[in-house]
Chains A and B, each alone.
Chain A
Amino acid sequence: MEQMSPIVRTIIKIAFAPMFVFGAYIILHGHLTPGGGFQGGAIIASLMALYLVAFGATKWKKKLLSGIESGGLLVFIITGFLGLFSGYMFYNFLSGSDIPIFNQTIDLMPGWEHANWAPIWSGGTVSIMNIAVGLEVIAALSLIIITMGLFVFDKKEDA
């Protein structure tokens, strides 16, 4: 698959870092602001699609992407089942616990009046699941685009 013109390639090079940061922001703030794992993952996956359109298909690791997709789904399901040890299914066992990640509770933060003003570490398992779904969506949509591109241009089912 050949490259596109230098104008397209330069624009993609300039837009790569801001689009990646915006997608990561949508994923990481999924429990506070609109968005979440699917939306941020779709943004980063469309960035991968733009990169593939502009620069052409080189060596893409389809096995690695497939593994990331399965791993994201496994992390989601395991996080859901881990709540069973503390109470019920999908119990938010991280919130207010001693594990030093995503464990802040809202009442530790004085003066909050709006739900969007809560600290980013107040997500609990919701943030873990958002990150897992984000990785899964990035890998799955990139895999779809890469498979279609390789099939259209190189006439290969497996590359």
Chain B
Amino acid sequence: MVEWTIFLFDAAHILILVGIVASALMVVKFKDLISAAIALAACSLLVSLEFLILQAPDVAIAEAAVGALLTTAIFIFAIRGSRRREEY
């Protein structure tokens, strides 16, 4: 029983870490900047889940509130003040 729950925790851990790396790659690769901001919010939400697994619920709440909502709002302000598509 104990080994089974440890395996579940490890599986969730690995899934969340892979998700963090994938969403961070999406942030770099997207040319639509609003999509990149949403992907950054998803990355920050996964980071807060990782904090929750690592037994730091206080940091997880702060990360979820600030990372997923406040910085997304600030990025959306900045994007709507300029162009939406990235050019290179």
A contact residues vs B (CB 8 Å cutoff): 26, 34-36, 38-39, 42-43, 45-46, 49-50, 52-53, 141, 145, 148-149, 152-153
Contact = CB atoms under 8 A, between A and B. Distances in A.
A34 B61 CA distance: 8
B62 A52 contact: no
Given A152-B77, A152-B78, A153-B81, A50 B61 contact: no
B77 A149 contact: yes
Contacts of A148: 74, 77-78
Contact of A53 (B57, B62, B65, B77): B77
7 contacts: A34-B57, A35-B58, A42-B66, A50-B73, A53-B73, A145-B77, A148-B78
B14 interface: no
Chain A interface mostly: helix
Contact of B58 (A36, A45, A49, A152): A36
Interface in B39-77: 57-58, 60-62, 65-66, 69-70, 73-74, 76-77
A21 to B, nearest CB: 15
B80 interface: yes
A36 B58 CA distance: 8
A127 B71 CA distance: 28
Interface of B: 57-58, 60-62, 65-66, 69-70, 73-74, 76-78, 80-81
A50 B76 CA distance: 11
A157 to B, nearest CB: 14
B26 to A, nearest CB: 22
Given A45-B70, A46-B69, 8 more contacts: A34-B58, A43-B65, A45-B65, A46-B66, A49-B73, A145-B70, A145-B77, A148-B74
**Candidate in B62, B66, B73, B78 with the most chain A CB atoms within 10 angstroms:** B73
Top-3 shortest CB links A-B: A46-B69, A152-B81, A49-B73
A145 B62 contact: no
A152 B76 CA distance: 11
Contacts of B69: 43, 46, 49-50
A39 B58 contact: yes
Given A152-B81, A153-B81, A49 B62 contact: no
